[in-house]
């Protein structure tokens, strides 16, 4: 039976939480920057800031829509169109990103395809050796491998990749 939209959101959030728990453990002793691609309301930024308090986390979005208690500081946000900001940031932080979290999918398949291609084409230079990617969309990034999801995450509700 096909899941309802409510179930899809529930399964995605369960997978997202399981993946965050796993990646936080993986990067705890690794230096590096975190990219939050798609700040939105700031819930995952807030979650990362809570569990990675000493880490530089840079959030990307077109405009500020985050809840007041989930807003990044001015030096933690990169505003603009992702097609412009991600390639520039990938070069500015070349080889420094230990975790990239991309959560910018929607229910629009064509939009998702375009966004996945944009992220796939531009993220690699930023990734540190063995850098991790969490994504709500399947990506196709050279020099990365797709990883199995941790326990508690349903297949195809979230995606994990590691730079090889």
Rounded percentage of the chain residues whose pLDDT exceeds 70: 100
What was the pLDDT predicted at 68? 95
Tens digit of pLDDT for each residue in 91-109? 999 999 999 999 998 888 9
Give the separation between CA 113 and CA 123, rounded to whole angstroms.
Answer: 16
Domain boundaries, the chain: 5-163
Residues near 64 by Cβ (< 8 Å), separated by ≥ 6? 39, 71, 77, 79
| Threshold 0.85, pTM exceeds | yes
> Whole-number mean pLDDT of the chain?
96
At 157, list the tokens: 């509700």
Q: What is the pLDDT of residue 22?
A: 98
Over range 45-68, report the average pLDDT: 96
State the helix-helix crossing angle for 109-122 and 82-92, rounded to 10 degrees.
20
Cα separation, 45 vs 72, in Å, equals 8
How far apart (Å, rounded) are the C-alpha atoms in residues 44 and 135? Answer: 12
CATH number of the 5-163 domain: 3.40.50.150
Specify the residue for token string 């994504």. Answer: 135
Q: Angle 75-81-82 (CA atoms, 0-180°, nearest 5)?
A: 80
């Amino acid at each position: 039976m096909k899941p309802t939209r409510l179930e899809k959101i529930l399964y995605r959030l369960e997978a997202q939480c399981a993946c965050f728990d796993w990646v936080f453990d993986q990067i705890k002793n690794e230096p590096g920057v975190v990219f939050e691609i798609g700040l939105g309301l700031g819930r995952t930024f807030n979650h990362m800031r809570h569990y990675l308090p000493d880490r530089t986390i840079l959030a990307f979005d077109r405009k500020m829509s985050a809840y007041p208690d989930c807003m990044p500081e001015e030096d933690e946000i990169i505003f603009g169109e992702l097609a412009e900001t991600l390639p520039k940031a990938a070069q500015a932080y070349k080889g420094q990103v230990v975790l990239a979290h991309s959560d910018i999918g929607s229910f629009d398949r064509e939009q998702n395809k375009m966004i996945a291609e944009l992220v796939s084409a531009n993220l690699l230079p930023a990734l540190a050796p063995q850098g991790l990617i969490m994504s709500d969309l399947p990506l196709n990034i050279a020099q990365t491998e797709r990883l199995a999801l941790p326990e508690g995450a349903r297949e195809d509700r979230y995606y994990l990749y590691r730079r090889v």
